[in-house]
Amino acid sequence: MVNQNEILRYLGASTTNDTLDALISRAREAVEKAMRPRHLVQHISLQVDAPLETVILAGTPLPSRDLAQHLQGCQEGFLFACTLGPDIDALVKRYTLTEPAMLPVIQAVAAAYTESYADEAQRPLEGYAQERGLYLRPRYSPGYGDFALHYQRFLFDALEISKRIGVTLTEDFIMIPFKSVTAVIGLSSDPSLCHINKCMTCTAKNCPFRKEAE
């Protein structure tokens, strides 16, 4: 079950009321009915080159200081992709035309469900890590820091995302369906660098989606 506070976070709301609760309830029902989640995972070797400027993922060098810092100490990890499916985009389009006031609620609920599904799809990776005395780094996606959005192409090619789960990439490296996620997940032997709270690895201190440390 997606946490109500996560939906409020995506809405930019700190409090709720009966009217908003009713809208969120409607949006939850619509999103749950429309979503057809799918995901992909590929185990890879990785190497962080000194001085923390390039990461080599499955033999492919990707220059990014932020990703290198995030994956420092990792020698293996996973490429990851997931989507809620195309019917969510159709749902958003329908509300755009028929009930625009409902649109931000649908968008917020769908975003929260996307993150929730990504977390759930990642559970087996946590088991893999625990069995080996390792720890998962938080998901790190193209577009974060200097890990440029055009690296989506590497992930799409490596995972065959379009072929296997039907997500496509525009010329501007935007994913369709929109409620989709790609990421690199590192495996580390150092638990102090593997925060459950993924926002602790982000430098955007004033982001409204930032979670408080547990």
Q: What is the model's pLDDT at position 46?
A: 96
Is 170 among the domain residues?
yes
Single-letter code of the amino acid located at 172:
D
Give the span between the Cα atoms of 64 and 176, in whole angstroms. 25
- The tens digit of pLDDT for each residue in 59-87 reads 999 999 999 999 999 999 999 999 999 99
Q: What is the model's pLDDT at position 22?
A: 95
- The tens digit of pLDDT for each residue in 92-120 reads 999 999 999 999 999 999 999 999 999 99
Is 153 among the domain residues?
yes
- The tens digit of pLDDT for each residue in 172-208 reads 999 999 999 999 999 999 887 665 445 544 544 445 4
- The tens digit of pLDDT for each residue in 43-61 reads 999 999 878 899 999 999 9
Residue-averaged pLDDT of the chain: 90
Number of domains forming the structure of the chain: 1
Is 210 among the domain residues?
no
Q: What is the model's pLDDT at position 198?
A: 52
Task: Sort 133 into a burial class: Cβ within 10 Å, 0-12 / 13-18 / 19+.
Answer: exposed
Identify the domain containing residue 90 by its residue range: 4-201
